[in-house]
A and B are shown apart, each in its own frame.
Chain A
Amino acid sequence: MIITINGRQCEAEHGEFILDVALRNGIQIPTLCHSEALPGLASCRLCIVEVIENNWSKVVASCVYPITSEIEVVTHSEKIKRMRKTLLKLLGARAPQNAYVRKLLAEHEVTPAARFQGDPDENCIMCGLCVSACDKIGAGAISTVYRGIAKKVSTPYDEPSKTCIGCSACAGVCPTGAIKVQESHGKRIIWKKEFELLSCAVCGKPFITPEQIAYLKAKLNQEIDEILCETCKRKAAGERFAQTCADLTASKGLLR
Chain B
Amino acid sequence: MTVEKNSQRILSYTRDVMAGYPREQRFTLAMLQDIQKKYKYIPRESLEQLSDHLGVPLSKLYSIATFYKALSLQPKGDHVIRVCDGTACHIRSSMVIVDELAKILMIKPGETTSDGKFSLETVNCLGSCAMAPAMVIDETYYGKVTPSRTREILNEYGGVDCE
Contact = CB atoms under 8 A, between A and B. Distances in A.
Contacts of B60: 140, 143
B57 A157 contact: no
Contacts of B62: 143, 145, 156-157
B38 interface: no
A155 interface: yes
B63 A144 contact: yes
Contacts of B66: 145-147
B58 interface: yes
B67 A142 contact: no
Interface string B40-67: 0000100100000000011111110011
Interface in A133-151: 135, 139-147
Contact of B58 (A144, A146, A147, A162): A162
A69 interface: no
Interface residues of A, number: 16
Interface string A141-173: 111111100000001110001110000000000
> Residue among B44, B59, B61 with the most chain A CB within 10 A?
B59
Interface string B145-161: 00000000000000000
Interface residues of B, number: 11
A145 B58 CA distance: 12
A156 B58 contact: yes
B55 to A, nearest CB: 10
B47 to A, nearest CB: 8
A86 to B, nearest CB: 25
Contacts of A139: 57
Contacts of A135: 57
A147 B59 contact: no
A143 B60 CA distance: 6
Nearest to B69: A147
A224 to B, nearest CB: 25
Contacts of A156: 47, 58-59, 61-62
B162 to A, nearest CB: 29
Contact of B67 (A141, A147, A157): A147
B63 A141 contact: no
A143 B96 CA distance: 37
B67 A161 contact: no
Contacts of B47: 156
A145 B63 CA distance: 5
A142 B58 contact: no
Interface of A: 135, 139-147, 155-157, 161-163
16 contacts: A140-B57, A141-B57, A141-B59, A143-B59, A143-B62, A143-B63, A144-B63, A145-B67, A146-B67, A147-B67, A155-B59, A156-B62, A157-B44, A157-B62, A161-B58, A161-B59
